Structure 1
Amino acid sequence: MARIAVIGAGMGALASAARLAVAGHRVAVYERTQTYGGAVRRFQRDGFSFDTGPALLPLPAVYRDLFVKTGKEPLEACVELVQVDPSVRHVFPDGTRAALPNASRAGVVAALDEALGPGAGQRWGDFLVRAREAWDRTRRPLLEEPLWPNWQVLAEREPYPAVPHKRLLRTRRAATLAEIGAWELRDPRLAALLESHALAYGLDPRETPASAAVLPYMEHAFGTWYVRGGLRELARAVYERCVARKVEFRFGAEVTGVLEKDGRVAGVELADGTVAEADFVVAGVAPAALHRLTRGTAVRGDGEVPAQRGTASRLTVLLALRGGQPEGTAHRTVVHTPDRESELDALSGRTPGPVAHPTVSVLRPDDPALVPDPGHEAVTLSTVVPAGSQADERHAEYVIAAAERAIPGVRDRLLWHEIRTPDDVAEATGAEGGAVPAPALAAAGGRLLHPSNSTRVEGLFTVGGWAHPGGGLPHAGMSGALVAGLIVEGPEFRGSR
């Protein structure tokens, strides 16, 4: 039985802690804040309750597997999962609206044909077939296996089978999401639908590799799920599973250093000066924090995937509304910007200041647990902003104005609103500027891959969104599984099959 210190109580860290405890190890989690879940937080006021981080669960099989492997009670016995249908409603700048059924290719094709015109659905359906091929080629190395030592293969090879396109007497293939939209989908509304999946992580579709086609494919193939009571309930269930497996938690315990002895980790040092000895250390922190904890010791060697520096964060506006939710309201609506180039330029830092017409995600869960009574509604608005940006009421007004296209008369119903800024994300996660990591993606020279879970320091492992396989709830859960496998089985571990 090994002593294992886990730094941070984010979802990836919790997933690794539960699995390691079941394997017979003595696991202690040290969390600098007073609660668990990382970015998966909740805000409550006047009987209203809101998710302030992720609010929907794609690929729930990752957490089903975690609960199967760590106890007798399955995930569905601990939380209530509800499939969201329609999966999403899109509101485009020209006023067109399209509601897409959950996990139904035929239904999506029919819905897009009806909303956007004949042929639109078929083009999107054909795109999904190609996206599935990219998924099949990258699923194991980018989600289910430790990062390959020869990761350059993933960096150089584009898995998306783009359709040949004649341009200026030359035949070219789409290398970015923007080119897929322009050359294969051939409709600005379909292009906006596609690009919204990259934009959700702050990725510029003009530069994001075509391999990002796996993001809409995952939503299509595995559906979109809501956890009754809010996604914070999933974090609670994972935390309680850890406690049931005898994981020790120390909240308000800031780790200030990772201790080494003879080239191997020996434990962690806390802000109060105490030392906790450990045979393994699992760090669920952002790269800059890990650098501080190791006091400048290089944990990555030459030729390894370098740590990413997050550039995008999230601005969230929470609305408490009078009046119950109208019948037929979509759980999620994406309101697309009428000025795509300006939004992307602002996010990339090419132009300063807030975006006057941002793309906004509108979440309106039909859940009595979130409101004081049926005569009220809790709505969450979110948009991507540059990491470290100082959001204020002007930003919130732009977001609310965009949401009016999805919720007519929203200002007349507004009781109050709260703003959650990149500073709040930073406080919850410890990531510099409140940066939000993206999932690992192939191609693009490897700039969207994440560092391996193992490090040059023997016994030190990294977990969570800033390590392989990157950000997003499914990826965080898989990072926990990979770290547990590497510790329990050793370097020969090659993932579950």
Structure 2
Amino acid sequence: MARIAVIGAGMGAMAAAARLAVAGHRVTVYERTATYGGAVGAVEHAGFTFDSGPGLLHLPAVWRDLFLKTGREPLEKCVGLVQVDPASRHLFADGTEAVLPDASRAGIVSALESALGRGAGERWGEFLGRAGDTWDRSRRPLLEEPLWPDWRVLERDPYPAPRQRRLLRARQAATVAEVGAWELADPRLAALFEGCVLGYGLDPRQAPASAALLPYMEQTFGSWYVEGGLRELARAVYERCAARRVEFVFGAEVVSIVEKDGRAAGVELRGGEIAAADHVVAGAADAARLTGRELWAEGDVRPPAAGQPLPGRLTVLLALRGARPASAVHRTVVHSPDTGAEAAAVFGGGPTARPTVTVLRPDDPRTRPDEGHEAVTVSATVAGHGGGVDWTDEALRERCAGALVDAAARALGERPAALRERLVWHKVLTPAETGGIPAPALAGPGGRHLHPANTTRLPGLLLAGGHAHPGGGLAHAGMSGALVAGLIVEGADFRGSQ
């Protein structure tokens, strides 16, 4: 039985902790705040409850696997998991609207054909077919296996872009934006793809075409809502850890990772206490800061150099008077009229005039005080805090939040003034409070969208979370935890999750 010290109680860290405890190890989680869940938080006030982080779950199989492998009670016994159908409603800049069913390629193709005109659905269906090939080619090395030492085999983009005649020569789309312009050939379909990619913290002008697996993942495996909000999933994972005798120490700030005989040997807490361990699990940023040494060899995938902060999310929580109509759609996306300009602002460190806005309107009595009210969450991807945008500027916060409320009014079919009259209260969350969005790993030229491996040059120190392989996102966090646990339990023989 090994002693495992886990730094932080985020979702990836807890996923690793539960699996390691079941394998017979003694696991202690040190969390500097007073609670668990990391970015999966909640805001509760006056009978309303909102997710302060992600609001929908994709690839629930990742978390089903965790609960299957760590106990008798499956995920659905621990949380209420509801498939969202229709999956999304899309409002485009030209006034057209499309409502897409959940996890039905034929239904999605039909809906787009009907809403956007002849050929639109067919082109999207062909795109999803190529995206499916991308998923099949990259799923194992990107999500289910530790990052290969010879990671450069992932420099080849697995997206099978058709060759097209461009500027007197045959070319293939290499970026998300080129796929939208050349293959989808409709600004609304391009906005559908680019808006999805931007929501994952990726620049559609630069992200490789392999990002096609992101809308494929959502539209193939579905969108799921956790009753009471995604914070309930964090609670269930925490309780599963506690049931497997994982010890949590809250209010415990780790100030350094202890080394002995050339390997990680524990953690030092603020106040001077040393907690010995045989393995330490940390996030990539924490590990680099807490060791003060080089953790990556020449040729390894490394964290991005310090500079422009990661994009973040601007969120407005709306506590509203008035009942939610029975016909309301759970998720509505109001698309920007110019995704390229939006991306230029987000990744150039400036405010966005007309962003792509997602409006979540759950039909869940646990989120509101009574049937005469509703809780609506409005969000957009924005430039990160610092590097050009100061999200502590109250005037900037309220001005940008106002643009989101105006978009929400369109989604709800109301005038902005009428929506504001319904407000009981509202709260604005910015990247200054919630941090940046680590993107999921993608194969592509230069390995620019890969993340550091879960192992490091310091034996005994492993990396979990959104800034390590396989990158950001709630599903990816669960995969990260599974990979770290496998590497500790099976060592060099570990070949990936099954």
Q: TM-score, normalised by structure 2?
A: 0.95
Which residue does the alignment assign to 1:420? Answer: 429
2:40 and 2:230 in contact (8 A); partners too: yes
> Which amino acid in 1 is paired with 2:175?
T
Alignment map for 1:61-72 (pairs within 5 Å):
61-72=61-72
Which residue does the alignment assign to 1:398? Answer: 403
Which residue does the alignment assign to 2:27? Answer: 27
Alignment map for 1:421-460 (pairs within 5 Å):
421-425=430-434, 434-460=435-461
Write the distance in 2 (CA, Å) between the matches of 1:471 and 1:202: 9
Which residue does the alignment assign to 1:93? Answer: 93
TM-fit CA distance, 1:342: 2.6
Write the distance in 1 (CA, Å) between the matches of 2:61 and 2:339: 34
Which residue does the alignment assign to 2:324? Answer: 325
State the Cα deviation string for residues 423-457 of structure 1 (Å, max 9, x = none).
Answer: 211xxxxxxxx111010000131111000001110
TM-fit CA distance, 1:164: 1.2
Alignment map for 1:136-151 (pairs within 5 Å):
136-151=136-151
Q: Which runs of 5+ in 2 are unaligned?
A: 392-396
1:338 maps onto 2:343 in alignment: no
State the Cα deviation string for residues 4-32 of structure 1 (Å, max 9, x = none).
Answer: 00000000000000000000000000001
Q: Name which of structure 1's ranges 200-209 and 56-65 shifts more when overlaid on structure 2.
A: 200-209
Which residue does the alignment assign to 2:295? Answer: 299
Write the distance in 1 (CA, Å) between the matches of 2:374 and 2:85: 19
1:358 and 1:402 in contact (8 A); partners too: no
Identity %: 66
2:284 and 2:464 in contact (8 A); partners too: no
Which residue does the alignment assign to 2:6? Answer: 6
1:370 maps onto 2:367 in alignment: yes
Which residue does the alignment assign to 1:429? Answer: none
TM-fit CA distance, 1:412: 2.7
Alignment map for 1:79-228 (pairs within 5 Å):
79-155=79-155, 157-228=156-227
TM-fit CA distance, 1:153: 0.8
Write the distance in 1 (CA, Å) between the matches of 2:380 and 2:203: 14
Q: TM-score, normalised by structure 1?
A: 0.96
1:322 and 1:377 in contact (8 A); partners too: yes
Write the distance in 1 (CA, Å) between the matches of 2:336 and 2:382: 14
TM-fit CA distance, 1:353: 3.9
Q: Pick the aligned partner of 2:420 from 411, 415, 438.
A: 411
Alignment map for 1:229-240 (pairs within 5 Å):
229-240=228-239
Write the distance in 2 (CA, Å) between the matches of 1:223 and 1:308: 31
> Which amino acid in 2 is paired with 1:386?
A
Write the distance in 2 (CA, Å) between the matches of 1:286 and 1:192: 33
TM-fit CA distance, 1:390: 2.8
Write the distance in 2 (CA, Å) between the matches of 1:300 and 1:492: 21
TM-fit CA distance, 1:268: 0.1
Write the distance in 1 (CA, Å) between the matches of 2:128 and 2:410: 28
Which residue does the alignment assign to 1:357? Answer: 354
Write the distance in 2 (CA, Å) between the matches of 1:14 and 1:496: 17
2:315 and 2:430 in contact (8 A); partners too: yes
Aligned residues: 483
Which residue does the alignment assign to 1:472? Answer: 473
Which residue does the alignment assign to 2:394? Answer: none
Which residue does the alignment assign to 1:50? Answer: 50
Write the distance in 1 (CA, Å) between the matches of 2:109 and 2:200: 26
Q: Name which of structure 1's ranges 167-176 and 232-241 shifts more when overlaid on structure 2.
A: 167-176
Write the distance in 1 (CA, Å) between the matches of 2:264 and 2:180: 48
Q: Which runs of 4+ in 1 moved over 6 A?
A: none
Write the distance in 2 (CA, Å) between the matches of 1:25 and 1:467: 23
TM-fit CA distance, 1:286: 4.6
